[in-house]
Amino acid sequence: MPYSMTGMGRASGIIRKPQIKFDIEIKSYNHRFLEISVKCPSTLLPFEDKIRSCIQKKVTRGHIVVLIQQDREILDATVEIDETLLRAYMKVVDKLEKEHKVGGQLDINTILSVQGLVKFNQPPTDSKGVFDAFKPIFNKALKGFLQMKRKEGENIEKEVRKSIRVIEKNIRVVEKLIPKRNQDYKEHLEEIGKKFDKELNEDRFYQELLYTIDRTDVNEECKRLASHLVLFKEALDKETHCGRKLNFLLQEIQREANTCSVKANSLEISKSVVQIKEEVEKIREQVQNIE
* Residues 249-279 pLDDT 10s: 999 999 999 888 877 777 888 899 999 999 9
Is the pLDDT at 197 greater than 60? The verdict is no
- Residues 6 or more apart in contact with residue 86 via CB below 8 angstroms: 111, 114, 117
The pLDDT of residue 10 is 97
Cβ burial, residue 122 (10 Å; 0-12/13-18/19+): exposed
Higher pLDDT, 234 or 180: 234
The rounded percent of the chain whose pLDDT value lies above 90 is 53
C-alpha span between 154 and 3 (Å, rounded): 7
Is the pLDDT at 220 greater than 70? The verdict is yes
Cβ burial, residue 8 (10 Å; 0-12/13-18/19+): middle
User: CA-CA distances (angstroms) from residue 281 to 158, 192, 212?
Assistant: 16, 40, 30
C-alpha span between 30 and 6 (Å, rounded): 6
Is the pLDDT at 211 greater than 70? The verdict is no
The pLDDT of residue 14 is 93
Specify whether the CB–CB gap between 90 and 68 falls below 8 A. no
Q: How confident is the model at residue 207 (pLDDT cuts 50, 70, 90)?
A: low
* Residues 42-98 pLDDT 10s: 889 999 999 999 999 999 999 999 999 998 654 556 778 888 888 888 888 888 777
Is the pLDDT at 201 greater than 70? The verdict is no
- Residues 6 or more apart in contact with residue 152 via CB below 8 angstroms: 3, 4, 6, 7, 289
Higher pLDDT, 213 or 245: 245
What is the pLDDT averaged over residues 107-117? 81
User: Mean pLDDT in the chain?
Assistant: 85
Is the pLDDT at 210 greater than 60? The verdict is no
Is the pLDDT at 104 greater than 80? The verdict is no
Least confident of 207-216, 219-228, 230-239: 207-216
Domains of the chain: residue spans and CATH: 7-74+127-150 (3.30.230), 78-121 (no CATH), 152-287 (no CATH)
Is the pLDDT at 106 greater than 90? The verdict is no
Predicted TM-score (pTM) of this structure = 0.72
C-alpha span between 6 and 31 (Å, rounded): 10
Full strand arrangement of the beta sheet holding 20-29 = 7-15, 20-29, 62-71, 34-39
What is the pLDDT averaged over residues 181-197? 63
Q: How confident is the model at residue 202 (pLDDT cuts 50, 70, 90)?
A: low
The pLDDT of residue 87 is 86
The pLDDT of residue 178 is 80
C-alpha span between 1 and 142 (Å, rounded): 18
C-alpha span between 207 and 44 (Å, rounded): 79
The pLDDT of residue 186 is 66
The pLDDT of residue 123 is 60
The SS3 of residue 59 is coil
Is the pLDDT at 105 greater than 80? The verdict is no
Q: What is the DSSP letter of 290?
A: B
The pLDDT of residue 93 is 81
